[in-house]
Chains A and B, each alone.
Chain A
């Protein structure tokens, strides 16, 4: 008995982690999947109902708006974070004075919660006392900046705050990537007469393919899960103009008591994340095995 215990001790120690994740991650996802095929309202029902909830979901105007918003947000969030992140990383890589201070400034938003970020930007962007008033007081009398309360534009305020929070992180990833390139490569290119622009555009940035890939995966992942920022900044409004899938899911479950429908929306999110993550995990594992 003691011998058996000694032999299997590593597995016993491993058991809590595996058991908890098996139950709370895999078991729960399967439960949600099952419920998405039932007609559950306030309480879960266990008779199967087919794909009715998915049909209902994709026929719902609110869900379509949420998906639309997600696509707009993801595209802009990605582009701005990556462009700003790369510019900052390349510029910081030029033996800049006070690099440490600048880096700290670019990255500190990552330490804040989206609720804090949202609260701050909500105040900055509010039309009566925020940025709009600042410009009017500076003499631009006709300046208007009411995106926060404008149905058409409110989604872009979420982009502004989101980029502010995450661009520094992309900078950190690229800076680490650039620093890991051997000096010899850059030196050789310079001896061959390449200017700095060519060195980055033709040599270094193409070498950053894995960093691009990682940033892409992380940013898409953040945007699919965006919830807190929207709650703090617009609560999905004005009207339902800034609803996103994560917000749709919780509202349908906990305010509208449509458990089945909300499970269906959660599974759509799950599949979207899986579509991005599984290729990523696959390539990461291959890279590790190749090493």
Chain B
């Protein structure tokens, strides 16, 4: 009797082992299918950029290129060397760098200070001030485009990198404040209180106590701001054109320019060049990237 139960239990265990194995395979199958879907465009971009137009016309999206041919990359980066109508990314890439670096710096600094005050030097109504700033994360920028365009005109910095630095600094503040405020809230205020009793001032406390432990949130903020500003198109395309344009605008213009034959290989090389800086940051610092994303991703 007991033997029988035992064997049927064994059978059951065996059966569940098979279902489990089947389930595992199914699991991996689905995960890999999705991985292919996500990787497919990147694969297509890379192989297309390495093909000649002749190869592109003869093969399909998936065909492996005949060799490592970086000509399209060189054209995308540095142009073909004839004057008018020769658009290439190099100058715009530098525009973007010149725009990103100061904008990230200023917005991070202002956000750090605001977050510090809002958590360690609390005053009456500070919650409302935070809410006041936070709302700036959510507004659709269409509602500020028209007055911004006028303002930049009045200030004499429309269609310039400086104008874009101002725009990105201002509209980055709500996010940087949010990041630093949420981080500093979790740092015990006792330390700050003790330092205040010892007579340490506002800036001394910030630089001696808070700044040394702020590395993670600074990294998150810088990565977030860098990605947002580098990838921006709305502000770039509205407030700058021609020579002052940032890289995303230049990429779009290059792809849309309907002069002569479409060169898909150059288009793809350009897209990769415009995407590489943020991809590198993502691969190197994915953890921080995701942290920023989950706390600030309300931006569209």
Instruction: List chain A positions with a Cβ less than 8 A from chain B.
Output: 6, 9-11, 13-14, 16-18, 20-22, 24-25, 27-29, 31-32, 35, 44, 84, 87-88, 91-92, 94, 96, 102, 104-117, 119-124, 129-131, 133-134, 137-138, 164, 168-169, 172-173, 176, 217-218, 221-228, 231-232, 235, 245-246, 249-250, 253-254, 259, 262-263, 265-267, 269-270, 272-274, 277, 281, 285
Bound-state CA distance A113–B255 (Å) is 15
A276–chain B nearest beta-carbon distance, Å: 9
Determine which residue in A44, A92, A119, A224 has the highest number of CB atoms from chain B within 10 A of its CB, and name it. Answer: A119
Contacts of B64 in A (CB 8 A): none
Contacts of A270 in B (CB 8 A): 139-140, 142-143
Contacts of A105 in B (CB 8 A): 35, 38-39
Is the Cβ of B147 less than 8 Å from the Cβ of A120?
no
Bound-state CA distance A32–B114 (Å) is 27
Question: Chain A at the B interface: mostly helix, strand, loop or mixed?
Answer: helix
Is the Cβ of B256 less than 8 Å from the Cβ of A111?
no
Closest to A129 in B: B56
A24–chain B nearest beta-carbon distance, Å: 5
- A-contact bits for B118-135, CB 8 A (1 contact / 0 none): 100101000001011111
Contacts of B27 in A (CB 8 A): 91, 94, 96
- A-contact bits for B1-30, CB 8 A (1 contact / 0 none): 000000000000000000000000001101
Is the Cβ of A111 less than 8 Å from the Cβ of B281?
yes
Closest to B279 in A: A111
- A-contact bits for B264-300, CB 8 A (1 contact / 0 none): 1001101110110011011100100110011001111
Is the Cβ of B293 less than 8 Å from the Cβ of A281?
no
Question: Chain B at the A interface: mostly helix, strand, loop or mixed?
Answer: helix
Is the Cβ of B274 less than 8 Å from the Cβ of A116?
yes
The yes or no answer to B37 lying at the interface (CB within 8 A) is yes
Q: A106-B38, A107-B286, A137-B60 are in contact. List 20 more A-B contacts (CB 8 A).
A: A6-B202, A13-B117, A14-B117, A17-B111, A27-B147, A28-B147, A29-B143, A104-B286, A111-B281, A113-B233, A113-B275, A116-B231, A120-B41, A129-B57, A225-B142, A231-B237, A246-B140, A254-B238, A259-B146, A281-B131
Closest to B32 in A: A102
Contacts of B231 in A (CB 8 A): 112-116
